Amino acid sequence: MRHPLLSRRRVRLGAAAATVVVAGTAAFGVGQATAEHSVPRTDKEIPNLTQVQDKIKAYYGDTVTADGQHYASPHSNYAKQVRGITDSARRYLDKVAKDARTHHHGKKPAIVLDMDDTTLLTYNYELQVGFHHTEAAQDKYLASTDMEAVYGMDRLVNRAHRQGIEVFFVTGRKEAQREWSVRNLKNVGYGVPLDRAHVYLKDKKNPPAYLPCGATCSTVEFKAGTRKHIESRGYDIVANFGDQYSDLNGGYGDKTFKLPNPMYFLP
């Protein structure tokens, strides 16, 4: 959800104006600051940060290993919500694949997916950094650690690919993280092509010519512009998956699927 208090480029729980999201809907306390009162008048309009973190841990079914790693439980409300979304997406993509086999429309069906908290779960990383994301912390983590697949998304993606639907990843991760990102996707079971023609990362040093905004692209401009480019290659993006609305806005996708993520907001 877009919270009126959150305006930084990547807003996380380290900010005083954290958001509680349960089962994909905002669950704010009494006196929640609104768009009309974006600057809280009293402390009662600000969610308590500790309580927000506790709710998020409960939602993910926080499970801690002996070495201090945090994992989401497959029995958590988060996992149940994601299963509902993947079940719906599977039925839709099965129908798309069947239609593509019987009706030739000239364009090959494709799906586009974000990475963080859409195909790869950042929950353990978020707990390790105390919900305080920095590029340096992310680099260190990704270089040495694989994130889990988001529940059911690996099976959904592989099933779609087996049925003839092309798979593309479009992520706001930087180009320098490509090797780590591809390694992670392979290691957790995404058995689809992961070359440069199928995995798009942000490259501010050498932005592609098909993005008019170049190195200054917003998330929406980068992702929508990349989807436009993919469709220009002869694909019909039948579904676009993301955990942020900025993953989904901007068009170039027949249907969108929003994955839950109460941990941060990306405009």
DSSP H helical segments within 1-76, as ranges? 49-60
Average pLDDT over residues 151-170: 98
Residue by residue, what is the 3-state secondary structure of 135-181?
HHHHHHHHHHCCCEECCCHHHHHHHHHHCCCEEEEEEEEEHHHHHHH
Q: Domain extents for the chain?
A: 45-258
CB 165 within 8 A of CB 111: yes
Cα-based torsion angle of the residue sequence 110, 265, 55, 63 in order, rounded to the nearest 10 degrees: 50
Provide the mean pLDDT of the chain: 88
- Determine the pLDDT at residue 30: 37
Q: pLDDT tens-digit profile of 190-244?
A: 999 999 999 999 999 999 999 999 999 999 999 999 999 999 999 999 999 999 9
Domain 45-258's class?
alpha beta
Residue of 208 and 12 predicted with greater confidence: 208
User: Strand pairing of 25-26 and 21-22?
Assistant: antiparallel
- For the chain, give the percent of residues with pLDDT over 90: 83
pTM, full prediction:
0.86
Average pLDDT over residues 126-139: 96
